[in-house]
Structure 1
Amino acid sequence: MIDLRIVRDDPDRVRASQHARGEDSGAVDRLLAADADRRAAVARADSLRAEQKSYGRTIGQASKDERPALLERGKAMAAEVKLAEAAEQEANAALAVAHRSIANIIEGAPPGGEQDYLVVKEVGRPTEFDFTPRDHVELGERLGAIDIERGTKVSGARFYFLRGVGAQLQWALLNLAVSTAIGHDFVPMIPPVLVKPEAMEGTGFLGAHADEIYRLEADDMYLVGTAEVPLAGYHAGEILDLSAGPLRYAGWSSCFRREAGSYGKDTRGILRVHQFDKVEMFVFCKPEDAADQHAQLLSFEEQMLAQMELPYRVIDTAAGDLGSSAARKFDCEAWVPTQQTYRELTSTSNCTTFQARRLGVRYRDEDGKPQVAATLNGTLATTRWLVAILENHQQADGSVRVPKALQPGLGGREVLEPIG
């Protein structure tokens, strides 16, 4: 949730953010009205409770003859208090709904939709071949690395098996990501992939994109689409010690996405699937440190991409393409030769205090007063990277050169050879 004080003091800033996202700026006025109604309801309930308490002392001092009438009036006052408290509860609930309907306030993100991103930089030149390149599916099948046919047989569309060198390639990639994270003072974590509604709601995933999430109705739990969710909930309701600097975690988890809105998109291969593995960075810090932490997360992602020897670009994601929790997001997109375009491999988001306010994550400032923390997240490696690795490093005979950084994880192999 955004800070209500900002809505009260600078509603135009929030309206502009909503407009840049392509969302309803009228939600700001509804929130202001709900806030005013709630404050009025609280004031009325407080006033009636104080009046009732004072009146109670009057009854205690009254004579025996005066008491019946006073008691009758006391009952009437108690009924008024009860009604006022019910109105206060309703006003609190209405304020909560209005408050949660507004996305985080953008910070520097360009306005517009999915196609209105800004290219921050391009690194390397798009890979060119003197032969017709194969896509990652054909390469993976020839290497015995990817089996989509049997994945579909077992689990349905958008499922797959990674086998042989495919499995080893993913393990090498994710292990390298974890080692990279540890080198930057991240605590490695293997979090649960089933979470309670409070964790999913607290991170902002039960809004406009709730249909992307798998829900286990019998247990009222959710399968996570990213380790961001359990890592954000890790310190829910706590007051953190950030005196020594940010708290950094790197979570390795399987991730699950329904891909509900992607009918007909990327149906071939493992680019857009229902299950994949990912190493996700997550940071708790003071709000004033969030922008610097965001830049660092992006640099760690670029470090990984450089080790994969991939051409890529960094884009500043437009406001309308941000998740509700993000104030700003940078994506790293690698070149995919057979598609002749860049495709997203990583993203890193600065969620400012939006998630922490929902989850009750705070820290103590220099005066010892609790303040709301900031949270950030960023992808360090995921199954999708295999698409770019296989396609960019392929050779004319269908073999694939292994990036030097991954060779130790594949027994020192420099080239993956077709098996048939």
Structure 2
Amino acid sequence: MIDPVVLRDDPELVKRSQVARGHSPETVDAALAADRERRSAISAYEELRAEQNAFGKTVAAAPKEEKAALVAAVKGLAERVKAAQQAASEAEEAARAAFVRIENIVIDGVPAGGEDDFVELRRVGDIPSFDFQPLDHLALGEKLKAIDMERGAKVSGARFYFLRGIGARLEIALMNLALDRALEAGFVPMITPTLVRPEIMQGTGFLGEHAEEVYHLPADDLYLVGTSEVALAGYHKDEILDLADGPLRYAGWSTCYRREAGSHGKDTRGIIRVHQFNKLEMFVYTTPEDAEAEHERLLGLQEGMLQSLGLAYRVIDIAAGDLGSSAARKYDVEAWVPTQQAFRELTSTSNCTTFQSRRLDIRHRPPLEEGGVGRTTPVATLNGTLATTRWIVAILETHQRADGSVVVPEVLRPYLGGLEVLEPAA
């Protein structure tokens, strides 16, 4: 949820953000009107409540012969108070609904437009070349007996798979490498719940335009997460955090689930776009003033991982219309996939400023210049993926050899018992 003070004081800023995202500026006018109605209704209710309290004292002090008439008047006033309270509740709900339609205010410099309007910031690494016809990751995975899509579909349906043998070991190695990098960077490791309550899913912004991507269990009214960001954001719900010693940084390891609604016909081969995968997600609580610097730090950790794995990649600044509702800025890191002759997203990192924390009521007490601490204020939240199943695609294709074997990136070898080459199964 955006800051209501910003909405009231600078509605044009909010309108520009909504337009950059491809939304109508009328959502801002509607929210302003709903906010005015809400404040007016609350004010009317509070005035009547004060009148009721004062009148109650008058009744208590009145002579016996006057009390009957006064009690009758009190009953009429009580009905008006009840009606005003109902009107205030309805106005609160209407304002909340209007505010939810406004997405996070994009940071200055974020490109306007949609999916194709990103800005490429840099390319790193050499595009791999081969003197043989390279195989795609699924063909390599089958040769290595590392990926089994056929039995995944038999057991669970389309877009499910088994990682077996060296495929399972490779993913665990990758995740452990990422976990070690996160520990070195001061993150607290977490294994998170994968089922969350509606208010947590709503609070992180995943029940908006992309709600069709989320699996819901109606009998329990719980949602399967598509990222441990959701559980990590809810971890400190309704709390006041101590950020005096710096940001709180968590690294959540979890299985993730996505329905991939609307992706029929896209990436149906292999493990690029699947319903279930594993992921190590970085999540940070920090002050709003430090959020942009923390965002660059998360991006640096992601780039360090890809560089150490010997992957060619590019970093792109995602356009406003392609951001999720919570993100004020998002960087994608896309690795080169040789058989597709294209960069494909491996990881992303988002600065959600105070949008999620306002919904989840997560605050801190900033220090005052003259000493002590001030009033509580919302924290900023950020997230970024440090490793996920999809990375196996780029690793296999980039480091393959003509005989179908794959050279293990040196940084992963200690996690695979010193194994240097993945050999095709006999």
Q: Distance in 2 between matches of 1:356 and 1:242?
A: 14
Aligned length: 420
Match of 1:97 in 2: 97
Alignment map for 1:21-420 (pairs within 5 Å): 21-107=21-107, 108-366=109-367, 367-420=373-426
Q: Distance in 2 between matches of 1:409 and 1:57?
A: 76
Q: Distance in 2 between matches of 1:373 and 1:27?
A: 25
Contact kept in structure 1, 2:201 and 2:207, CA below 8 Å: yes
Structure 1 position 304, deviation (Å): 0.3
Q: Distance in 2 between matches of 1:205 and 1:278?
A: 17
Deviation string for 1:32-79 (max 9, x for gaps)? 001000010011111111111122222223222222211111111111
Deviation string for 1:190-248 (max 9, x for gaps)? 01111111110110000000010011111110111000000000111111110000000
Deviation string for 1:332-363 (max 9, x for gaps)? 00000000000000100000000011111111
- SS at structure 1 position matched to 2:88: helix
- SS at structure 2 position matched to 1:413: coil
Partner amino acid, structure 2, of 1:419: A
User: Identity rate of aligned residues, in percent?
Assistant: 62
Structure 1 position 125, deviation (Å): 2.4
Q: Distance in 1 between matches of 2:56 and 2:411?
A: 77
Structure 1 position 320, deviation (Å): 0.6
Partner amino acid, structure 2, of 1:71: V
Structure 1 position 155, deviation (Å): 0.6
Deviates more, 1:351-360 or 1:59-68: 59-68
Partner amino acid, structure 2, of 1:413: L
Deviates more, 1:290-299 or 1:96-105: 96-105
Structure 1 position 257, deviation (Å): 0.2
Q: Distance in 1 between matches of 2:142 and 2:240?
A: 50
Q: Distance in 1 between matches of 2:348 and 2:110?
A: 14
Q: Distance in 2 between matches of 1:10 and 1:211?
A: 33
Contact kept in structure 1, 2:125 and 2:307, CA below 8 Å: no
Match of 2:370 in 1: none
- SS at structure 1 position matched to 2:65: coil
Partner amino acid, structure 2, of 1:409: Y
Q: Distance in 2 between matches of 1:62 and 1:402?
A: 90
- SS at structure 2 position matched to 1:12: helix
Q: Distance in 1 between matches of 2:358 and 2:133?
A: 52
What stretches of structure 2 of length at least 5 have no aligned partner?
Answer: 368-372
Structure 1 position 327, deviation (Å): 0.1
Partner amino acid, structure 2, of 1:351: C
- SS at structure 1 position matched to 2:130: coil
State the TM-score, normalizing by the size of structure 2: 0.98
Structure 1 position 100, deviation (Å): 1.2
Deviation string for 1:293-339 (max 9, x for gaps)? 00000000000001110000000000011000000000000000000
Partner amino acid, structure 1, of 2:104: N
- SS at structure 2 position matched to 1:348: strand
Partner amino acid, structure 2, of 1:13: L
Partner amino acid, structure 2, of 1:8: R
Structure 1 position 28, deviation (Å): 0.6
- SS at structure 2 position matched to 1:66: helix
Partner amino acid, structure 1, of 2:422: L
Contact kept in structure 1, 2:332 and 2:349, CA below 8 Å: yes
Deviation string for 1:383-403 (max 9, x for gaps)? 000000000101111111110
Deviation string for 1:363-391 (max 9, x for gaps)? 11112421110000000000000000000
Q: Distance in 2 between matches of 1:227 and 1:24?
A: 32
What stretches of structure 1 of length at least 5 have no aligned partner?
Answer: none
Q: Distance in 1 between matches of 2:138 and 2:81?
A: 68
Partner amino acid, structure 2, of 1:251: G
Q: Distance in 1 between matches of 2:191 and 2:65?
A: 72
Contact kept in structure 1, 2:196 and 2:223, CA below 8 Å: yes
Q: Distance in 2 between matches of 1:298 and 1:218?
A: 39
Q: Distance in 2 between matches of 1:22 and 1:62?
A: 63
Deviates more, 1:50-59 or 1:81-90: 50-59
